[in-house]
Amino acid sequence: MGFFRRESWNLGLVAILALLFVLTKVVQPNYGASGIVGLAQAALPFAFAAAAQAIVVIVGGIDLSIASMMAVTSVAAAVMMEGASEGQAFWIALFILALGTAMGALNGILIVLTRVPDIVVTLAMLYVWEGVALMILKAPGGGASDWLMGLPIGSIPLPGVPESVSSFLPKALLLLVVCIAVVWVPLKRSKLGLQIYAIGSSEQAAYRTGVPVKRSKVAAYAIAGLFAAMGGLVLTASTGIGAPIPGPYLLASVAAVVLGGVVLGGGRGGLLGPIIAVFILRLVRTILTFLAVDPNVTTIVEGTIMVAVVMVGGVLALRGRRRSAA
208 lies in the site for other proteins, by CB under 8 A: yes
CB-nearer residue toward other proteins: 248 or 320: 320
CB 257 within 8 Å of CB 57: yes
Which residue among 52, 110, 148, 211 contacts other proteins (CB under 8 A)?
Answer: 211
The rounded distance, in Å, linking the Cα atoms of 50 and 48 is 5
Query: What is the rounded end-to-end Cα distance, in angstroms, of the chain?
Result: 17
268 lies in the site for other proteins, by CB under 8 A: yes
CB-nearer residue toward other proteins: 25 or 321: 321
Segment near other proteins (CB under 8 A); pick from 47-55, 115-123, 192-200, 297-305: 192-200
200 lies in the site for other proteins, by CB under 8 A: yes
Least separation in angstroms between residue 59's CB and other proteins is 12
The rounded distance, in Å, linking the Cα atoms of 131 and 150 is 30
212 lies in the site for other proteins, by CB under 8 A: yes
206 lies in the site for other proteins, by CB under 8 A: yes
Least separation in angstroms between residue 310's CB and other proteins is 18
Mapped onto helix, strand or coil, the DSSP state of residue 230 is helix
267 lies in the site for other proteins, by CB under 8 A: yes
Q: How far is CA 291 from the centre of its chain?
A: 27
Q: How far is CA 36 from the centre of its chain?
A: 18
The rounded distance, in Å, linking the Cα atoms of 227 and 101 is 8
Return the bridge partners of 170, or none: 155
Which residue among 28, 34, 166, 201 contacts other proteins (CB under 8 A)?
Answer: 201
Which residue among 197, 221, 227, 249 contacts other proteins (CB under 8 A)?
Answer: 197
DSSP letters, 103-127, are: HHHHHHHHHHHH---HHHHHHHHHH
Least separation in angstroms between residue 270's CB and other proteins is 12
CB-nearer residue toward other proteins: 122 or 195: 195
CB 246 within 8 Å of CB 70: yes
The rounded distance, in Å, linking the Cα atoms of 27 and 287 is 7
CB-nearer residue toward other proteins: 73 or 216: 216
Which DSSP state fits 211?
Answer: -
CB-nearer residue toward other proteins: 58 or 71: 58
| Residues near other proteins (CB under 8 A) | 2, 191, 194-195, 197-198, 200-202, 205-212, 267-268
